Amino acid sequence: MITTLLFFLFAGFAIACAGLMVYHKNPLYSAISLIGVFIALACIYMLLAAPFIAAVQVLVYAGAIMVLVIFVIMLLNLEEDKPLTRLRHLYLIGSILGLVLLAQTLFIFYAVKKSPQSAQEQADAGLTLNIGRAMFTEYLLPVEIAGVLLLMAIVGAMVLSRRLKETRLDIAQKEKRR
Amino acid sequence: MEEIVKTLFPLIVYFTAIFLAFNGVLIIVAYTVLAERKILGWIQGRIGPNRVGPWGLLQPFADLLKFIFKEDIAPDKSTKFVYFLAPLVALICALMPIVVYPFGPPIKTIDWSFLPYGLGEGIRQLPLVIADFDVALLYVLSVTSVGVYGIALAGWASNSKYSLMGGLRSSAQMISYELAMGASVLGVVMMAGSLSLTKIIEAQTRYPTRWFIIPQFIGFIVFLIAAFAETNRVPFDLPEAETELVAGFHTEYSALKFALFFMAEYVNMFTVSVMCSTLFLGGWYVPGLSRIFEYGSIPYAIVSHIAFLLKIFFFLFLYIWVRGTLPRFRFDQLMSFGWKFLLPVAIGNLVFTTIMVYLGIF
């Protein structure tokens, strides 16, 4: 009873925040609404007995990634009432991707109804120990692939920032030679 | 009637527990402020506040009244909604971790059968923690990491150059030191084999050296330094460096909204002290106490709780002591110290702990 009430509270909050995020003109308010969505989602994960995912959701998305987004918005200080005509041609792609997402969601509904998992298994699946065990046995390959991808991203970031420095130095040296 | 009571009973218990814990923490926080002013005074050869009440003991309440009755000024060109939201975010994120602190050992000797409608059935023990769940440590880290928005948004919404600089500095600083903090905690998590704070304390009661500070000394030092940076305290108080930025991110805040930021800072200090004592000093656990009192009895719980508070007060005193002693970092020093020294040391400690745990030495 209370769980259902809480679910509707968080779900409603998430949907309201998502709507605000898409439709608000000020990018900072959009970012704040996105943080709201993440926190509401974390609360829903908590209701679904997946505390680890909930904590990581807040820690990674709300606590780290969105801080960077807000950081950039604060530094750039974007104009509030600039018309967004530049993105007009993206509407078509956006609507196609939206349809794909909808199909995915419906497929998940279908898959969950078909799945033979017992309620007991589902209740324990969100615990840290079981997640760790599953990650390093059953799903080892995807974890490894994700790890390599992240490593590539880190190395890429280092290379990009380093080369920028060198080119600036090169330019300075060239100017000196002239 | 019985049905209603049975549904509402857990809610009432939880709300009462949360209410008591919040008020207890806020009173400790109020007296931390007074202690800070007194101890700083003694360090600098002054007396400190001594006018309100005996030895100035009522000073926190006088300050609170002053904050409530002061005029609340908001800058003309501030972004109003965010400007009002920021102090709330800061304080709420600082207060939320309180629900997972283990304040003491479970009490097992009380007989709960006196409760009406058979509510006491099946209750074996009274745990001195409000919510004990699987990922309590991650919960604390994640909620406190959301607290950075309070400061960053306050800096942006005030529409003032000093505030913006303070907000930017604080978000950069908190992202950087969060990494070192998380990495330093992992050693303890690995040794305890759990992310739950109660289980980490239990693991320390079984461990040969009792407290994790001995095998995890490097992790402890890194955690302590990163914690000073996370709470924006001296020597890492660059977000409000008063000689450079007037008052940093809260320059434009007055009256009660300033008080909220002020409280958030001290509640965060309390949180970090609790985490330090829980992860590295055994939390409420006092070695050898079970020989005097029986585990699970009321005197055992009381002595353990007092020990827990003493450990917290030690760390709070450390904060004040450092503030009275050390000068402030420069910003580039702060960044390079976090990224080039603390983070590698924390990761080195993690690798070392992994090897030791694998070999069965830790």
The pTM assigned to this predicted structure is 0.84
Average pLDDT in chain A: 81
Chain B contact for A55 (CB, 8 A cutoff): yes
By CA distance, what is A29's nearest residue in B? B82
Cα separation, A50 vs B357, whole angstroms: 28
Chain B residues close to A39, C-beta within 8 Å: 146
| Per-residue confidence (pLDDT) for residue A164, from 0 to 100 | 57
Residues of chain B with pLDDT under 50: none
pLDDT digits (tens, 9 = 90+) for B219-262: 899 999 998 888 888 788 777 777 777 777 777 787 888 888 88
pLDDT band at A119 (very low <50, low <70, confident <90, very high): low
Q: Name the strand (E) or helix (H) holding A46.
A: helix A27-47
Domain ranges of chain B: 2-103+130-359
Chain B contact for A51 (CB, 8 A cutoff): yes
| Per-residue confidence (pLDDT) for residue B146, from 0 to 100 | 87
Cα separation, B81 vs B307, whole angstroms: 43
| Per-residue confidence (pLDDT) for residue A151, from 0 to 100 | 94
Chain B residues bordering chain A (beta-carbon distance below 8 Å): 7, 11, 79, 81-82, 85, 133-135, 138-139, 141-143, 145-146, 148-149, 152-153, 155-156, 164, 167-168, 171-172, 174-175, 178, 194-195
CA distance B164 to chain A (A): 8
Chain B contact for A158 (CB, 8 A cutoff): no
| Per-residue confidence (pLDDT) for residue B47, from 0 to 100 | 85
Interface test with B, best of A61, A69, A128, A136 (most B CBs within 10 A): A128
* Number of CB atoms found within 10 A of residue B122's CB: 7
Cβ-defined contact of A55 to B7 (cutoff 8 Å):
no
Point out the residue among A51, A58, A74 whose CB comes nearest to the CB of B146: A58
If one compares B62 and A76, the residue with the highest pLDDT of the two is: B62
pLDDT band at A103 (very low <50, low <70, confident <90, very high): very high
Q: How far is CA B138 from the centre of its chain?
A: 14
Determine the length of chain B. Answer: 362
What are the DSSP calls for B46-95, one per residue?
-----SSSGGGTTHHHHHHHHHHHS-----TTS-HHHHHHHHHHHHHHHH
User: What residues have CB less than 8 Å from A93, skipping those under 6 apart?
Assistant: none
Q: Is the ipTM of this complex over 0.85?
A: no
Domain architecture of chain A: domains with CATH: 1-79 (1.20.120.1200)
b/e code A10-37 from CB counts within 10 Å (16+ = b): beebbeebbebbeeeebbbbbbbbbbbb
CA distance A55 to chain B (A): 5
| pLDDT tops 80 at residue A150 | yes
10 Å CB burial of residue B66 (0-12, 13-18, 19+) is exposed
CA distance B14 to chain A (A): 14
Asked whether B228 and B322 are in contact (CB, 8 A), the reply is: yes
- List of E strands, A19-146: none
Average pLDDT of A15-27? 86
| Per-residue confidence (pLDDT) for residue A16, from 0 to 100 | 92
pLDDT band at A165 (very low <50, low <70, confident <90, very high): low
| Greatest alpha-carbon span in chain B | 65
Chain B contact for A75 (CB, 8 A cutoff): yes
Cβ-defined contact of A70 to B133 (cutoff 8 Å):
no
Cβ-defined contact of A71 to B7 (cutoff 8 Å):
no
By CA distance, what is A124's nearest residue in B? B134
